[in-house]
Amino acid sequence: MVHSLQKIVGVSLVVLLAACSNDQAYKQQVNGNEDYLKAPALKELRAPAGMILPVQNAQYAVNNRAVSTGNLGLALDIRPPSQPLALMTGSRVQFSGNTATLSLENSAQNQALWSKLIAALGQKNYKIADRQDANQTLTTDWINWQRGDENVAYDARYQIAVQSQGYQNQLSVKVIELKAGDKAVTDAASMQRYSISMLNSITSVLDKTQHDLDSKKAGLASGSIVLQSAKDDTGLPVVIVRAPYTNVWDRLPAVLESMGMEITDRNKPQGLITVKFKSSNANWAALNVPNPDLKNGEYKLQVGDLDNRSSLQFSTEKGQVLKENENNALVIILQSAFNRSAVESK
């Protein structure tokens, strides 16, 4: 009898734990005491007769008449808003209403955005319900989203369009219908979350496709890269690398490391790399180059995208671009480091 009771209790506990593990509400709700919701309202300060209060500063006044219309307590969704990701070089992203937008420079690399979009949807197995090639708009079929912070999978239908506006190409993603199970969803936070999820999903495919194409063109594994000293539009020294941005970006970590530069931060969309430099005779001997007489310390490297070429501009931590003689010395070292990385990658 005791053994049977233990088995029943054990099974019940397992069922209870399983039920709790499937409930994702804790990822959305405030975890803690909710007594603050019972706090009394603020009251106006009444001073005794004859007392002179300090001069009031309206900047610090608390509006006791403000009425909150949003959710409170466990009904409040504490998840941060989704953000569109600027994964592609030179791209800008924004969100307005229930539409997420990707803007790209109208360059040779970003031509045929409509056909690239269709290919990206195919790679993700997103079905198209209606397609208008003439005005480059389409409507998707229902797309299912499985998220670890939702109890129910959401389904959404989208209107996607590509437009050319002057020097920019724009790809916009708009949620036209959203539901959780059989229940329609219209709240602003969910519309934002799932429109941005769709844009980020498409952008990730476009970015990978461009990356693979650039790698193929440049022959990343075995190709040599030519560098030269030049000046930018403002007359400041810059290094020109005759290779696409993505390939230069991928090879820079090994190149900089061989020069005694430790990368402390990288931001591909902005093309910005922060390094700590420590001169070493062993590094210069390995590269077979003279000591550049560059001061030890922190430097910033701005990597520019010039379509089939790239630019490198070094500056000190205070933002001062290196002098022309220092830039010329770096060209020799960078050329040797790029050549060495090409040999080691074979």
198 pLDDT tier (thresholds 50, 70, 90): very high
What's the rounded mean pLDDT across residues 52-68?
A: 75
**Whole-angstrom distance, CA of residue 345 vs CA of residue 290:** 24
DSSP letter, residue 321: B
**Rounded alpha-carbon distances, angstroms, from residue 204 to 119, 121, 161, 198, 273:** 13, 11, 17, 10, 22
* DSSP per position, 263-301: EEEEETTTTEEEEEE---HHHHHHHT-----PPSEEEEE
Q: Which is it for the CA torsion 75, 76, 78, 82, positive or negative?
A: positive
264 pLDDT tier (thresholds 50, 70, 90): very high
The residue that leads in pLDDT, 79 or 74, is 79
Domain boundaries defined on the chain: 92-217, 227-344
72 pLDDT tier (thresholds 50, 70, 90): low
Give me the CATH code for the 92-217 domain, please: 3.30.530.50
67 pLDDT tier (thresholds 50, 70, 90): low
The predicted pLDDT at position 18 comes to: 42
The residue that leads in pLDDT, 14 or 224, is 224
The predicted pLDDT at position 19 comes to: 43
Residue spans of beta strands (DSSP E) within 98-140: 99-105, 128-132, 137-140
Question: If we measure between CA atoms, which residue out of 118, 115, 184 comes closest to residue 156?
Answer: 184
Q: Which of 187-191, 213-217, 282-286, 317-321 has the lowest mean pLDDT?
A: 213-217
The predicted pLDDT at position 17 comes to: 45
The predicted pLDDT at position 211 comes to: 75
Express each pLDDT in 104-144 by its tens digit. Answer: 887 777 778 999 999 999 999 999 999 999 999 999 999 99
* Assigned CATH topology for domain 227-344: TATA-Binding Protein (3.30.310)
DSSP letter, residue 319: S
**Rounded alpha-carbon distances, angstroms, from residue 62 to 40, 58, 132:** 15, 9, 54
14 pLDDT tier (thresholds 50, 70, 90): very low
Is the pLDDT at 10 greater than 80, yes or no? Answer: no
187 pLDDT tier (thresholds 50, 70, 90): confident
The separation between CA 287 and the C-alpha centre of its own chain, rounded to angstroms, equals 35
What's the rounded mean pLDDT across residues 306-332?
A: 89
Residue 91's SS3 state is coil
Q: Which of 157-166, 300-309, 312-321, 335-344 has the lowest mean pLDDT?
A: 335-344
Token couple for 151:
């109890």
Is the pLDDT at 5 greater than 60, yes or no? Answer: no
The predicted pLDDT at position 221 comes to: 47
- Quickly count: other Cβ atoms within 10 Å of residue 316's Cβ: 13
Residue 320's SS3 state is coil
Is the pLDDT at 300 greater than 60, yes or no? Answer: yes
15 pLDDT tier (thresholds 50, 70, 90): very low
Contact at 8 Å (CB) between 145 and 69? no
Alpha helices in the chain (DSSP H): 2-22, 113-123, 188-218, 245-258, 281-287, 324-344
For residues 227, 231, 232 and 238, what is the CA-based torsion angle, rounded to 10 degrees?
Answer: 40
Mean of all residue pLDDT scores within the chain = 82
What's the rounded mean pLDDT across residues 178-200?
A: 91
- Quickly count: other Cβ atoms within 10 Å of residue 158's Cβ: 28
Express each pLDDT in 211-224 by its tens digit. Answer: 777 666 655 444 57
**Whole-angstrom distance, CA of residue 330 vs CA of residue 312:** 10
The residue that leads in pLDDT, 59 or 260, is 260
Is the pLDDT at 193 greater than 50, yes or no? Answer: yes
Residue 107's SS3 state is coil
Question: If we measure between CA atoms, which residue out of 185, 146, 187, 148 comes closest to residue 24?
Answer: 148
The predicted pLDDT at position 344 comes to: 63
Q: Which of 53-62, 180-189, 242-251 has the lowest mean pLDDT?
A: 53-62
Backbone φ and ψ of 77, nearest 5°? -85, 110
Contact at 8 Å (CB) between 215 and 208? no
